[in-house]
């Protein structure tokens, strides 16, 4: 075959392969957007749905111990809805289960909220901007009512000491349910392949309160449910890395404490993001333990209200549908 013809054939093959790859990517993006549109309303009502779908542990008027409300919700979204599986990255430690722990997690997408609560066994409430409450009031209202979410206005934080006092009060009010808090120290969503500098505000809080800190990095959460990418995907397998716990009372100087946290953060980031796709299935599964907490009237109110709203919504949908059909 002449060199010119061979080159033309190779070029045609390259163009064809490129076109096929582009078409495949476009199809994946379209399917991801469709899945996102289907999952978004489920996520919006997920708190009520999770309790309604788990009546055995959601509603116990006799006040016996039951599964953490946060754990029930996070398991519902992570396992039932999205079927995410977590794999322990090489070198990972175990979840720190002490009281008063600050869990530092990487912020990738909306799926962070349920994946990170699930991975911490529902032991921690989440700090979230109040902006989320405006986007998902049906989710945020009951979540804040039972203490699962601590809402704050990031742009309006003028008095940091007042914020710290509010956090202290939140811990005190919900001490039977939550012994820790999940925060995102980079301060914003980050889907880059490198970490951003860590904000110092909550680390100073942990240091002054002599709390323990643990870094938890999970790679690939943006594949699960992402508003930024407008995409969702079920059956994802994600590597997770738990650092050793860092105890603030062992570091009198804040800068030493911060540098140690930063070092552990970098290790966890590399540990989770350094796992190759083909090695995932060979890693050990991470299965959170079920956390039992004291039943609370707040959770019972949310569970009962969620059940009523769900039944009312189904009834309204049925009546609207039958009226449309027979109109």
For every residue of 169-234, DSSP letters joined together read HHHHHTTTT-SEEEE-TTSS---SSSPPPPPSHHHHHHHHTT-EEEEEEETTGGGTEETTTTEE-S
Range 130-152 average pLDDT: 85
pLDDT at 7 over 50: no
The pLDDT assigned to 63 comes to 54
Give pLDDT, residue 242.
98
Phi and psi for 285 in degrees, rounded to 5? Answer: -70, 150
Least confident of 157-161, 183-187, 212-216, 255-259: 157-161
Q: What is the rounded CA–CA span in Å between residue 322 and residue 202?
A: 53
Q: What is the pLDDT of residues 51-108, one digit of tens each?
A: 777 655 555 555 567 788 899 999 999 999 999 999 999 999 999 998 789 999 999 9
Higher pLDDT, 176 or 15: 176
Predicted local distance difference test score (pLDDT) of residue 171: 94
Give per-residue pLDDT as tens, 169-212. Answer: 999 999 888 999 999 999 889 999 899 999 999 999 999 999 99
The pLDDT-based confidence of 155 (bands split at 50, 70, 90) is: low
Q: What is the pLDDT confidence band of residue 153, given thresholds at 50, 70 and 90?
A: confident
State pTM to two decimals. 0.84
CA 248 to the chain's CA centroid: 25
Q: How confident is the model at residue 297 (pLDDT cuts 50, 70, 90)?
A: confident
What is the per-residue pLDDT for 23? 52
Among 121, 143, 90, 129, smallest CA distance to 293 is for 121
The pLDDT assigned to 12 comes to 38
**Per-residue pLDDT band at 294 (split at 50, 70, 90):** confident
Give residue 313's pLDDT.
63
pLDDT > 50? residue 15: no
Look at residue 1 and tell me whether its pLDDT is greater than 60: no
- Please check the confidence at residue 159 and state whether its pLDDT lies above 80: no
- Summary mean pLDDT of the chain: 85
Considering only 9-13, 43-47, 74-78, which range has the smallest mean pLDDT? 9-13
By residue count, the chain amounts to 327
- Residue 8 or 54, more confident: 54
Percent of residues, the chain, with pLDDT higher than 90: 58
Q: Output the pLDDT for position 17.
A: 36
Q: Residue 121 — left, alpha, or beta (φ > 0 → left; ψ -120 to 50 → alpha)?
A: left
C-alpha closest to that of 68 among 296, 270, 306, 229: 296
Higher pLDDT, 6 or 95: 95
Query: In terms of pLDDT, which residue wins out, 176 or 230?
Result: 230
Report the pLDDT averaged over residues 245-261: 97
For each of the domains in the chain, give its residue range(s) and CATH number, in order of start.
Answer: 45-310 (3.40.1130)
């Amino acid at each position: 075959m002449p060199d010119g013809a061979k080159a033309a054939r190779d070029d045609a093959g390259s163009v064809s392969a490129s076109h096929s790859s582009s078409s495949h990517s476009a199809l994946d993006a379209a399917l991801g957007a469709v899945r996102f549109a289907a999952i978004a309303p489920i996520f919006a009502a997920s708190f009520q749905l999770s309790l309604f779908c788990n009546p055995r542990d959601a509603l116990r008027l006799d006040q016996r111990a039951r599964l953490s409300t946060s754990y029930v919700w996070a398991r519902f979204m992570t396992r039932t809805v999205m079927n995410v599986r977590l794999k322990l990255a090489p070198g990972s430690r175990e979840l720190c289960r002490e009281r008063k722990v600050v869990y530092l997690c990487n912020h990738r997408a909306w799926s962070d909220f349920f994946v990170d609560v699930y991975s911490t066994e529902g032991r921690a409430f989440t700090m979230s901007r109040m902006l989320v409450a405006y986007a998902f009031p049906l989710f945020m209202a009951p979540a804040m009512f039972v203490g699962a979410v601590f809402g704050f206005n990031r742009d309006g934080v003028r008095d940091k000491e007042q914020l710290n006092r509010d956090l202290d009060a939140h811990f005190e009010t919900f001490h039977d349910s939550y012994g820790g808090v999940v925060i995102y120290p980079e301060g914003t969503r980050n889907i880059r392949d490198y970490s951003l500098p860590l904000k110092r505000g909550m680390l100073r809080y942990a240091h002054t309160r002599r709390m323990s800190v643990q870094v938890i990095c999970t790679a690939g959460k943006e594949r699960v449910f992402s508003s930024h990418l407008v995409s969702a995907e079920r059956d994802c397998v994600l590597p997770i890395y738990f650092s050793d716990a860092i105890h603030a009372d062992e570091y009198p100087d804040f800068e030493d404490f911060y540098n140690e946290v930063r070092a552990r953060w970098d290790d966890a980031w590399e540990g989770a993001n350094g796992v190759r796709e083909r090695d995932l299935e060979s890693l050990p599964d991470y299965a959170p333990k079920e956390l039992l907490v004291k039943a609370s009237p707040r959770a019972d109110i949310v569970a009962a209200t969620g059940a009523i709203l769900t039944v009312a919504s189904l009834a309204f949908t049925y009546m609207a549908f039958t009226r449309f059909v027979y109109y």
